[in-house]
């Protein structure tokens, strides 16, 4: 991390000039975390499969002077058939808004540098409120170097029925670390759905996507949050999603990794009041040289709440998968109903899966369980299908699709659900799983 600390110390004035006050106010604490902490290495607790030091070791450039790279948002189309969404673009780590975004009255999607003018007080109140906890090195690095970000604010009682789509594009003339920051705030009774799509336009370059997403849900707020990674073998991703739920709120997070290089996703959800509902889902399809690592923590800090968590992996060739998840139930929280599951298919003897499900419970009168499996496709099912004229490869594809079906079916946006079914099928048949509707012109 020292190379990035040096960049900050050398260019501190330039970094702060580009940023709003709330972002600058958080940097000193982040710097202290970086100076006192260390990057966990492979072999340490919860890091059996991933060495974060290796991810950050290359000399990635950081766009301190906000140079405009040759990716024109207007020429990038990421349209899902029949999905009527409000699209916004993030090119590397620079936000671009369309001229006529169709949003419900009062809803704001803007660059953080414009937040004080668009919705005063929101950034000051919520920015880094969750990220400052926990002492995570990668989150602290994002806080130190982020110069701008995206704010999504849905005011009290407003239902933004049109999905908000953030299309993230990596495209630069040099090796680059994109420092992305997103803040999503739903006031009491607000409703929204957000879709984030990650794309790499120039697969010949090495990139690192360093991302932090903070989510705040007010009383009875409802959010569906989907993230889909369709990047490249040269792309690294270190992403942290941090969420806080107030009384009666509902949160669905569904994470899909279809194409990538090396990915590390962290999820921490703090349930701070009663009657909350939380669903955390994930799936990863990985092949030659790919690496997908998901770490999760659901904190039940209030009684009478429900959470359901399921992550599934399908690994072929020499792919590496990892899952470490914890459900925590604090003292004095009866009536918690929580489940955590991790199911994995290894289609090759060279594929490796590391799994570590955990429960930590400090109260009585709860219903909590977890489980993990690692296995191969059912040979009897394959034989049965072949006896009925289905080829071996087709049978494998059908069984893998069936294995992932519950994660795909949990998507509540019909157009996105159908597109994912198509992409998953193409991925399992060995075809290019990139969405055919996503094109970039230079």
User: Is 399 among the domain residues?
Assistant: no
For residue 436, what pLDDT band results from cuts at 50, 70 and 90? very low
Task: Pick the range with the lowest mean pLDDT from 71-80, 136-145, 191-200, 244-253.
Answer: 71-80
pLDDT on residue 302: 97
Range 345-361 average pLDDT: 93
User: Is 175 among the domain residues?
Assistant: yes
Range 90-96 average pLDDT: 92
Q: Which of 309, 318, 385 shows the shortest CA–CA distance to 346?
A: 318
C-alpha 294/C-alpha 325 separation (Å) is 8
Beta carbons within 8 Å of 284's beta carbon, 6+ residues apart: 256, 257, 263, 292, 294, 311, 312, 313, 314, 321
Task: Pick the range with the lowest mean pLDDT from 38-47, 200-209, 325-334, 413-422.
Answer: 38-47
Indicate if the pLDDT at residue 360 is higher than 60.
yes
pTM above 0.75, yes or no: yes
* Alpha-carbon separation of residue 330 from 194, 239, 359, 366, 402 (angstroms): 30, 26, 11, 11, 36
pLDDT digits (tens, 9 = 90+) for 368-413: 999 999 988 777 777 778 878 788 788 888 888 888 999 999 999 9
pLDDT on residue 426: 87
φ, ψ of residue 310 to 5 degrees: the values are: -150, 125
Task: Pick the range with the lowest mean pLDDT from 83-92, 284-293, 414-423.
Answer: 83-92
Q: Tell me what the pLDDT averaged over the chain comes to.
A: 89
* Structural domain range at position 160: 2-375
Task: Compute the C-alpha angle 21/270/325, nearest 5°.
Answer: 120
Sign, CA dihedral 25-26-29-34, equals negative
Q: What is the DSSP letter of 363?
A: S
Q: Which two tokens stand for residue 324?
A: 């470490």
Hey, which residues does 365 pair with through a beta bridge?
A: none
User: Is 438 among the domain residues?
Assistant: no
For residue 432, what pLDDT band results from cuts at 50, 70 and 90? low
Q: How far apart are the first and last CA of the chain?
A: 34
User: Is 417 among the domain residues?
Assistant: no
User: Is 112 among the domain residues?
Assistant: yes
Indicate if the pLDDT at residue 228 is higher than 90.
yes
pLDDT on residue 70: 61
By the 8 A CB rule, do 234 and 200 touch? yes
Indicate if the pLDDT at residue 73 is higher than 60.
no
User: Is 384 among the domain residues?
Assistant: no
Q: Which two tokens stand for residue 187?
A: 């006031």
Q: Which two tokens stand for residue 235?
A: 């792309």
Q: Which of 75, 80, 49, 25 shows the shortest CA–CA distance to 230?
A: 80
Range 129-138 average pLDDT: 88
C-alpha 243/C-alpha 302 separation (Å) is 15
User: Is 116 among the domain residues?
Assistant: yes
Indicate if the pLDDT at residue 329 is higher than 60.
yes
C-alpha 8/C-alpha 2 separation (Å) is 10
* Alpha-carbon separation of residue 118 from 122, 138, 150, 221 (angstroms): 9, 29, 12, 21
User: Is 168 among the domain residues?
Assistant: yes
pLDDT on residue 159: 97
> Total domain count for the chain?
1
C-alpha 239/C-alpha 441 separation (Å) is 27
C-alpha 314/C-alpha 382 separation (Å) is 17
Indicate if the pLDDT at residue 37 is higher than 90.
no
pLDDT on residue 75: 46
DSSP 3-state of 14: helix
Percent of the chain with pLDDT over 90: 68
């Amino acid at each position: 991390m020292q190379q990035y600390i040096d960049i900050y110390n050398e260019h501190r004035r330039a970094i702060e000039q580009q940023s709003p006050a709330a972002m600058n106010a958080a940097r000193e604490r982040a710097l202290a975390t970086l100076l006192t902490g260390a990057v966990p290495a492979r072999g340490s607790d919860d890091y059996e499969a991933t060495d974060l030091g290796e991810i950050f070791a290359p000399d990635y450039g950081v766009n301190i002077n906000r140079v405009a790279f040759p990716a024109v948002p207007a020429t990038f189309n990421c349209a899902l058939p029949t999905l009527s969404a409000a699209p916004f673009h993030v090119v590397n780590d620079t936000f671009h808004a369309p001229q006529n975004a169709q949003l419900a009255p009062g809803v704001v999607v803007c660059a953080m540098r414009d937040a004080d003018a668009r919705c005063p007080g929101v950034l000051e109140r919520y920015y880094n409120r969750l990220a400052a906890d926990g002492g995570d090195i990668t989150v602290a690095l994002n806080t130190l170097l982020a110069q701008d970000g995206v704010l999504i604010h849905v005011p009290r009682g407003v239902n933004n029925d049109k999905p908000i789509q953030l299309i993230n594009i990596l495209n630069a003339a040099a090796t680059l670390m994109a420092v992305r920051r997103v803040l999503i705030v739903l006031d009491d009774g607000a409703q929204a759905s957000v879709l984030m799509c990650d794309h790499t336009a120039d697969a010949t370059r090495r990139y690192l996507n360093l991302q932090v997403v903070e989510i705040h849900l007010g009383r009875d707020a409802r959010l569906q949050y989907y993230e889909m990674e369709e990047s490249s073998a040269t792309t690294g991703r270190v992403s942290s999603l941090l969420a806080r739920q107030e009384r009666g709120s509902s949160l669905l997070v569904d994470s899909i990794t279809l194409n990538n290089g090396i990915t590390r996703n962290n999820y921490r959800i703090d349930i701070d009041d009663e009657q909350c509902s939380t669903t955390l889902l994930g799936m990863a399809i990985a092949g030659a040289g790919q690496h997908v690592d998901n770490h999760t923590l659901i904190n039940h800090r209030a009684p009478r709440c429900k959470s359901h968590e399921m992550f599934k992996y399908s690994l072929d060739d020499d792919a590496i998968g990892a899952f470490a998840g914890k459900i925590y139930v604090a003292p004095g929280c009866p009536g918690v109903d929580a489940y955590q599951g991790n199911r994995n298919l290894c289609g090759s003897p060279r594929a490796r899966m590391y799994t570590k499900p955990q429960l930590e419970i400090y109260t009585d009168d709860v219903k909590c369980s977890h489980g993990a499996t690692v296995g191969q496709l059912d040979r009897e099912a394959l034989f049965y299908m072949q006896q009925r004229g289905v080829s071996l490869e087709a049978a494998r594809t059908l069984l893998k699709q069936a294995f992932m079906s519950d994660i795909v079916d949990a998507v509540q946006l019909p157009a996105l659900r159908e597109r994912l079914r198509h992409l998953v099928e193409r991925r399992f048949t060995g075809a290019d799983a990139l969405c055919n509707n996503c094109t970039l012109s230079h």
